[in-house]
A and B are shown apart, each in its own frame.
Chain A
Amino acid sequence: EAGVVQSPRYKIIEKKQPVAFWCNPISGHNTLYWYLQNLGQGPELLIRYENEEAVDDSQLPKDRFSAERLKGVDSTLKIQPAELGDSAVYLCASSLGSVAGATDTQYFGPGTRLTVL
């Protein structure tokens, strides 16, 4: 079974430029997550999708970040414009779906390491 696929693996851009990350979750997984991970820290949730609906985006900085999950499968996370402080690893994860309000096992992709110069 293929795991969660993310691209690109690495991205270097200058500040104020736009950037986009792509994620393909495990087939059949209804829930998709985007996390931000700073060096030496644990992942922090940016947004969670149940199928194509964003059900938890309270941590997403909406002035510059946007995300979409068309057709409830692949997802794209965009930053426009990027700032120096956005340098981090952006992780995508998927799971079968929340059961009775509890989260189940999440499967993570390898992440995209973003460097903003």
Chain B
Amino acid sequence: SQQGEEDPQALSIQEGENATMNCSYKTSINNLQWYRQNSGRGLVHLILIRSNEREKHSGRLRVTLDTSKKSSSLLITASRAADTASYFCATDQASGSRLTFGEGTQLTVNP
């Protein structure tokens, strides 16, 4: 079963705008990771945030984690057409060493 649920399922924006994707999960976690997948390709790791962290930045990416609400958000600032991809959150549940992926958000950035 998939623990993470991404919202929205699909997002279409114009180049230069910010994109925000949300992820909710059900059980306690060790960490939460975000991955990107371009069409027909494998997943690429973007960022990992540990359960004791609240915010993390990497370039144009900003991830927040609220363990009390069991939710995380991924913000991509100043989006580019090359950011078009599916974005998945994956939770590392505290009960075992396994990543559980959500169903993903399909982001389309129009030039």
Contacts and interface: CB of A to CB of B under 8 A. Distances in A.
Contacts of A107: 45
A103 B96 CA distance: 9
Interface string A95-113: 0001001111111111101
Chain A binding surface, main DSSP class? loop
Task: Report the contact-size class of chain A (Cβ under 8 Å from the partner).
Answer: 20 to 34
A101 B88 contact: no
B42 interface: yes
A44 B99 CA distance: 9
Contacts of A13: none
A43 interface: yes
Interface in B11-70: 30-31, 33, 35, 40-45, 48
A45 interface: yes
A52 to B, nearest CB: 17
A40 to B, nearest CB: 7
Contacts, number: 66
Nearest to A92: B42
B43 to A, nearest CB: 4
Residue among B92, B97, B101 with the highest chain A CB neighbour number at 10 A: B97
B96 A42 contact: no
A40 B31 contact: no
Nearest to A9: B40
A56 B42 contact: no
A107 B99 CA distance: 13
A43 B44 CA distance: 13
A91 interface: yes
B8 to A, nearest CB: 14
Interface of A: 4, 40-45, 48, 55-56, 91, 93, 98, 101-111, 113
